[in-house]
Structure 1
Amino acid sequence: MSYTVPAQTRIGHVHLKVSDLKRSLDFYCGLLGFELMLMYGEQAAFISAGGYHHHIGLNTWHSKGMPPAPENTAGLYHVAILYPERKDLAAIYKRLSSAGVQFTGFADHGVSEALYLNDPDGNGLELYWDRPREQWPLDAEGKMTMYTHRLDLAGLLRELEA
């Protein structure tokens, strides 16, 4: 029998294996600006935006001191962090660029604009904002389409001038 997940369903949180909890907290809280909600001993931390119990869990239960997972294996490709406004994406781009963070890519997908980078353990991150639904590209039949074009970084940064 066919089943469709309810439309209001959301992805609640992600839990990442990390090799060094302090280094990960420095990155996620100190650089990206997430709030530390709870330490679970010395092996795990729960962080969030806006006081939610946690959007990201970080743990060293099976990974303390271990190297990043090999790139060419099955597993999580990236975690996508949705920013509420284009201006917010511009602000984090400027902050990360000023801190010397290495990006792995930038893209305009039509429905969204995205920055790509890795956390200290090589976990892929996509920082993005969604365009309003009425601006999403449609094909000749009126179905949503997506593409990958170069992101206009200068245009993105102009958001901060307004």
Structure 2
Amino acid sequence: MEEKYVVPAQTRIGHVHLKVADLDRSMAFYCDLLGFEVTTRYGSQAVFISAGGYHHHIGLNTWYSKDAPPAEQEGVGLFHTAILYPTRKDLAVIFDRLRRAKYPLTGASDHGVSEALYLNDPDGNGVELYWDRPKDQWPSKPDGSLEMYTRPLDLPGLLKELEA
């Protein structure tokens, strides 16, 4: 009997590539508001953006979607793109930035293993901004599996990170 294949532990999701209706509008969201940097641009049809000089974490293109309406919420497709911040303070900084810009959140949750902010980009694509608690703080069930949950995120408590 063949042994079950398990993906290597170091495997990561490298990037997401999104179809958008308006490249400049999407860049205003991902670059100007969230702070990603352009690594390369393909004329007026596509741009690759990243954090920290990586070749690209997010690709944005209008190849099949220029001026198209948002995808149906009640259909198949990407639920959200999750952007992992290194620390809780980094999450507080982006939350404060969104708050000051009056950019609407669709949710804010404590999942035990992580804390997350949810919003939609200008094309209605879901975006999760989150940080992971240290692994030794992740809650577990009696059988050792993860005890993930969805509870309201303490947003005033998150903002207190900015005072430190």
Q: Which of the residues 127, 130, 136 maps onto 2:129?
A: 127
TM-score normalised per structure 1: 0.99
Q: Which runs of 4+ in 1 moved over 2 A?
A: none
Q: Which of the residues 38, 53, 56 maps onto 2:55?
A: 53
Paired position in structure 1 for 2:68: 66
Q: Percent identity?
A: 69
| 1:142 CA displacement | 2.3
* Root mean square deviation, CA, Å: 0.6
Letter in 2 for 1:37: T
CA distance in 2, matches of 1:125, 1:46: 17
Paired position in structure 1 for 2:13: 11
TM-score normalised per structure 2: 0.97
Paired position in structure 2 for 1:107: 109
After TM superposition, the structure 1 = structure 2 runs for residues 70-149 of structure 1, keeping only pairs within 5 Å, are 70-149=72-151
CA distance in 2, matches of 1:52, 1:138: 34
Residue ranges of structure 2 left out of the alignment (5+ in a row): none
| 1:130 CA displacement | 0.1
Paired position in structure 2 for 1:34: 36
Letter in 1 for 2:19: K
Letter in 1 for 2:158: L
CA distance in 1, matches of 2:8, 2:142: 28
> What is the count of residue pairs matched by the alignment?
162
Letter in 1 for 2:129: L
| 1:7 CA displacement | 0.7
Residue ranges of structure 1 left out of the alignment (5+ in a row): none
Letter in 2 for 1:30: D
* Higher deviation after alignment, 47-56 or 133-142: 133-142
